[in-house]
Amino acid sequence: MAAIWRRIALFQRVLLPLAVAVVFILIWEYGTKLAKVSPLLFAPPSAVWKSLELSFPILVQQSLPTLKETLLGFALASLLGVTLGTALVLSKRVRQALYPHILLFQLIPKVALAPLFIVWLGIGPTSRLSFAVFMAFFPVVIATMTGLLSADRNIVRLCTSLTATPWQTFMSVRVPYAMPHLFAGLKIAVTMAIIGVIVGEFVTAQEGLGYIIMFASSADDTALVFAAIGMLCAVGLTLYGAVALVEMLIQRRLGVTITSSEF
């Protein structure tokens, strides 16, 4: 009976999404042919695969600048987000002074601000990196605040009654409780950092996957566009998996349960 349930769980988590992807690719492949859609307008998967094989060395080479700027932007956004989120929790005055402004900036459509970053910082990597940090830091701030405030109040009171210092309570109770929320925010932040870099590459870069996408679209090479998007998805999945791996290692290190959603 247990083996049957394991097979069902495997089907739900692995085989079912894979089956949906295969069905989608088949519909895409044969649907474009039956509808006689021009490959210049919407390339079928077979043409995308061929373009990926031909351009793979170039795509790998061009993915390195995108990966480098994404990693740096994600690291800076994580550091800034955790620091600011912790300060907002520990200091009521800081929270009252800064949180409304942070929320206001979050409500502004971020892509609309990309031209301003170019005006302020030029067309070099600084503008792309700054925009990636701007895109990614807010989820980390909110996740840090939510996690630190989610600690069980009874355990916090117990630490206080046992004469634990605020720092000991913070490190021993609040930080472990914050881990699930923090890593949820980091997973969102790494995807937002990629978006920030790609948007910057659309406008300013002469290298990177965003530049390849814009160059291929201007040449009506939709197969290369989809191939570059596929490479970009591979980069994003790799970074997301790296964050999930760190999450698992910290879970084992701290001995806490970091819950994950069904998704």
The 3 state secondary structure assigned to 84-134 is HHHHHHHCHHHHHHHHHHHHHHHHCCHHHHHHHHHHHHCCCHHHHHHHHHH
Task: Please check whether residue 29 lies inside any domain of the structure.
Answer: no
Specify the pTM: 0.85
**Is residue 3 assigned to a domain?**
no
**How many domains does the structure of the chain reveal?**
1
Across 6-20, 27-41, 78-92, 229-243, least confident range: 6-20
In a domain, 167, yes or no: yes
Q: Please give the residue range of the domain that contains residue 238.
A: 59-254
Q: Does 37 fall in a domain?
A: no
Looking up residue 239, the CATH number of its domain turns out to be 1.10.3720.10
Q: Is residue 177 part of a domain?
A: yes
For residue 10, what pLDDT band results from cuts at 50, 70 and 90?
low
Query: Can you list the pairs that 202-209 forms with residues at least 24 positions away whose Cβ atoms lie under 8 Å?
Result: 203/114, 203/115, 203/118, 203/123, 204/118, 204/123, 204/124, 204/127, 204/128, 205/65, 205/125, 205/128, 207/62, 207/65, 208/62, 208/63, 208/65, 208/66, 208/69, 209/59, 209/62, 209/63, 209/66, 209/235
Average pLDDT over residues 53-67: 93
User: Would residue 21 count as lying in a domain?
Assistant: no
Weakest-pLDDT range from 65-69, 100-104, 129-133:
100-104
Residue 106 has pLDDT above 70, yes or no: yes
Instruction: Determine, yes or no, domain membership for 25.
Output: no
> For residue 260, what pLDDT is reported?
42
What's the pLDDT score for residue 241? 92
Kindly state the percentage of the chain with pLDDT values over 90. 43
Q: Does the residue 8 lie in any domain?
A: no
Provide long-range contacts, Cβ within 8 A and 24+ apart, for 213-220. Answer: 220/40
